[in-house]
A = this chain, B = another copy of it.
Amino acid sequence: MIFMKTDLEQNRDLSAQIAKAIRDAIITGEMNTDDRLPSEAELADQFNVSRSTVREALKRLAAQNLIRTRRGATGGAFVHRLSYAEAYADHITTSTLLLSMNAVDFETACEARFALERACAPLSATRRSPDHLATMRAEVHRQSQPGLSDEGFCDSDVAFHRALVDGAANPVLSYQLAGAVEAMQPLMNMITFTARSREAIIAFHTRITDALEAHDADGVDTALSELARYTLGLGQKAMAARAAHRR
């Protein structure tokens, strides 16, 4: 792979332009996974800039998981195969940040989350493995522990719903939904769960798991939509309480 100075405008922000040139080469498939980029010194020559500028460009790409670097004689920067696990993690932090920075309200996030989960339900009812069921049962059990903190309850809730989504055995679906499910957590964390509401949620979770075990897609869907309504109510109550408290 050879880059040329001509790939750059004469303007400014060279490191961003260089990053873009290399990124394009990766995205368009001009470079393939595990291909090695030219060394920093070579890139500096090709783009006719200093090594520091090249390095800043490479750091940008590394931050996006597009390349990995290794030191040493056979080292260098290599095109990195973006794995689901890495993409998941990024997607979740970005989604969370996006929601918090744009002050998305509880209703909107809740609606999105349950709408998407319900989309997985039929597939999950067909394909869920014993592993998924076991995870869900375990989380339900964890949720019924008396000493569990509100945060722990939310953690478990997220884990439960992730298992439900993963049950659809479609990685694309899991990936896209991870953002919606996990990004809800900070909003859920603002709710104080009473023993009463925990009980209700656990009952929904049990119903969902049972229906899933019985391959009963309709049952899952019904329970999910009722849970959605219930969660929405909880959230609205919590928001109202907050608003009153702030008065």
A159 at the interface (CB under 8 A from B): no
A91 and B93 CA atoms in complex are apart in Å by 12
Smallest CB separation, A126 vs chain B (Å)? 11
Q: Among the listed stretches A107-115, A132-140, A194-202, A234-242, which one makes contact with chain B, having 4 or more residues with CB under 8 Å of it?
A: A107-115
**What residues on B are CB-neighbors of A171 within 8 Å?**
102, 104, 108
Encoded as 1 (CB less than 8 Å from any B CB) or 0, chain A from 82 to 118 comes to 1110010011011111111110100011011101101
A61 and B97 CA atoms in complex are apart in Å by 14
State how many residues of chain A have any CB contact under 8 Å with chain B: 57
**A123: contacting residue among B101, B111, B113, B170, CB under 8 A:** B111
A102 and B81 CA atoms in complex are apart in Å by 8
A155 at the interface (CB under 8 A from B): no
A243 at the interface (CB under 8 A from B): no
**What residues on B are CB-neighbors of A183 within 8 Å?**
172
**What residues on B are CB-neighbors of A94 within 8 Å?**
64, 82, 87, 90-91
Which residues of A59-87 are within 8 A (CB) of B? 59-64, 81-84, 87
**Known contacts A52-B52, A115-B123, A123-B111; A82 and B60 CB within 8 A of each other:** no
Smallest CB separation, A233 vs chain B (Å)? 19
**A101: contacting residue among B81, B95, B109, B179, CB under 8 A:** B81
- Report the nearest B residue to A119, measured CB to CB: B119
A175 at the interface (CB under 8 A from B): yes
Cβ-defined contact, A104 with B172, below 8 A: yes
**A98: contacting residue among B16, B61, B175, CB under 8 A:** B175
Give 20 new A-B contacts, CB below 8 A, not counting A82-B94, A84-B102, A116-B173: A16-B62, A56-B56, A81-B101, A82-B97, A82-B101, A102-B171, A104-B171, A104-B172, A109-B172, A111-B170, A112-B170, A113-B172, A115-B119, A115-B168, A115-B173, A116-B119, A116-B176, A119-B119, A172-B180, A176-B177
User: 4 smallest A-B Cβ distances: which pairs?
Assistant: A119-B119, A112-B172, A60-B63, A63-B63
